[in-house]
Structure formats: structure tokens, C-alpha cells
A = this chain, B = another copy of it.
């Protein structure tokens, strides 16, 4: 049922080169290997990819990541700290709760907030096409 990155590439006519296959593999393994809330930046991806094929350049990572983003495989996040971070797109949309101490990320969905956002946009005469909600918190002991 769930389609692989390779499936999506085929469907969209994106050529699957060896390098892209390696990157796709790293991406699809991300969540399993590195935890559910894995949001690697390009540098991290580069390092993970390098273990499988040390010949792949960081420029290719950048190009592929952009390509995958345009194909709807990845989403890009500009969290605090300059570096863009990526995650594989899942069918269900979610927002992020970020631990300001550890950087740990928790994904969540809140239907009520979603609805309210739409309503706010409409109140100002806009059609909501996208949104970003980030909560920053400290873990209670």
C-alpha cells in the first residue's frame, strides 16, 4: 500500500540514478534507524550517505534533496539555527514541538488548531494554502 520513494520517482518521471537510490535508501531508513522524529540536515544526510558510498558529493545531496522536495517526497524545515532540515513526507500532516534544551522534536496534530487557522485566514479574506506551527518548550520534571 504505502509507496516507496522509488515508486514516486517512477510515477513523476524522476530518473533514479545510483546516487539517488542511495539517498532514497538513507531517507526511508531514517525514521526506523534514527527514531520517529528524525529531521536530518544536509550535512547529516551527507554523512549517512557517505557510509554507503563515499564517492557521492555533497552537491549531489543538495540537488537531490531539492529534487525530492519538488516531487513531494521531502519537506524542508527552516528551524532555528541556519541549517535547513528535512523529513520524509508522510500522508498525515503534523506540526512540531521542539525541546529548546535538547533539540528533540515531537510531531503532533491538533485538528482543532487546524480548523482555527483556516478560520483566521478566511477572516482576513485569504485562502489558507500552507502553514507552519512550531512550539518551543521545556520538559517538565
Contact = CB atoms under 8 A, between A and B. Distances in A.
Interface of A: 78, 80, 97, 99-100, 106, 108, 110, 112-113, 116-117, 120-121, 123-140
Closest 5 CB pairs of A and B: A126-B137, A130-B136, A132-B134, A121-B137, A131-B135
30 contacts: A78-B78, A97-B120, A97-B124, A99-B126, A100-B129, A108-B120, A108-B123, A108-B124, A110-B116, A110-B120, A113-B116, A116-B116, A117-B135, A120-B135, A125-B139, A126-B137, A126-B140, A127-B137, A127-B138, A127-B139, A128-B135, A128-B136, A129-B137, A129-B138, A130-B136, A131-B133, A131-B135, A131-B136, A132-B134, A133-B134
Interface of A is mostly: strand
B116 A97 contact: no
A123 B95 CA distance: 14
